[in-house]
Amino acid sequence: MTTVTSQQVLDSLKQCMDPEIPISVVDMGLIYGVSINPDNKVDIKMTMTTRGCPLHDTLVTDVKRYVTKVPGVSAVDVEIVWEPAWTPEKMSDEGKKMINYGKQKTVAPINYEIAMPQGVGSLVKQEDGSLILMDEKQQGFMVNQAIVEFWKLCNGQRKITELVDLFAKQVGIQRGQMEKEVLQLIQQLRDGGLIIIKEPEVSNVQFKK
């Protein structure tokens, strides 16, 4: 029987992206422990960035899928824990670099009332089924299907309130739970060069009747 190692599991999970940020669950510091039984059943202990994460089930499913890709794995069990609580300090150095953690970014603020995000770049599907969004500089970001679907919704003609409504329906989650997540996702995709923010042109000229 093939012997499965913790390193093999972690290497595979390096391809599993957080649903909100194009960074792996390993580099995000979400994986708290990996244990392997003699029969190659893998037990994963992990956390979420927030307790109210609406994409909880999506992430658990993705983690199981990537662990199952390791040759010899017989079964996967994922336990979600909240202690110790996740903080950005738990991210790997690589993960921190990807989001410029600790650095001030001089980016124009998003006017969430009128902004209309436009997806840019391209989608590439790897041979193993994993998805990559490529920015216009051909830099790739590993993402999951939920992020891809949201990126496709950003057609430059929908305001953020419309995107929240549509995405909530797609993932089957109440709108109130999705709003904060969508705002964070928009900011992260913008930082990654995968969307640009358009605002409707408003003329300053007023015509009298």
Q: What is the rounded distance in angstroms from the CA atom of residue 160 to the CA atom of residue 204? A: 24
Instruction: At 112, list the tokens.
Output: 């969430």
Which residues pair with residue 198 across a beta bridge? 116
pLDDT of 67 higher than 90: yes
The predicted structure's pLDDT at residue 101: 53
CB 163 within 8 A of CB 115: no
Report strand pairing: 140-143 vs 131-134: antiparallel
User: In the CATH scheme, what architecture does the domain 6-93 have?
Assistant: 2-Layer Sandwich (3.30)
Backbone dihedral angles phi then psi of residue 104, each to the nearest 5 degrees: -80, 130
Domains 6-93 and 108-198 share a fold: no
Q: What is the rounded distance in angstroms from the CA atom of residue 178 to the CA atom of residue 161? A: 11
Side-chain-facing half-sphere of 162: CA atoms under 13 Å: 11
pLDDT of 107 higher than 60: no
Strands (E) across 4-85 are located at 31-36, 41-46, 75-80
The predicted structure's pLDDT at residue 179: 83
pLDDT tens digits along 160-205: 889 989 988 887 787 877 888 888 888 888 877 889 987 665 544 4
**Which H or E element spans position 124?**
strand 122-125
Instruction: At 168, list the tokens.
Output: 């909530």
pLDDT tens digits along 4-56: 999 999 999 998 887 667 688 999 999 999 999 999 999 999 998 887 666 77
CB 117 within 8 A of CB 154: yes
User: What Å distances lie between residue 74 and 79, 80, 202, CA to CA?
Assistant: 17, 20, 60
Residue of 20 and 154 predicted with greater confidence: 154
pLDDT tens digits along 74-103: 999 999 999 999 988 899 988 887 766 545
Fold annotation for 108-198: Outer Surface Protein A; domain 3 (3.90.930)
Q: Where are the domains of the chain?
A: 6-93, 108-198
Q: What is the rounded distance in angstroms from the CA atom of residue 47 to the CA atom of residue 154? A: 29
Instruction: At 29, list the tokens.
Output: 């510091």
Q: What is the rounded distance in angstroms from the CA atom of residue 91 to the CA atom of residue 128? A: 26
Reported pTM: 0.60
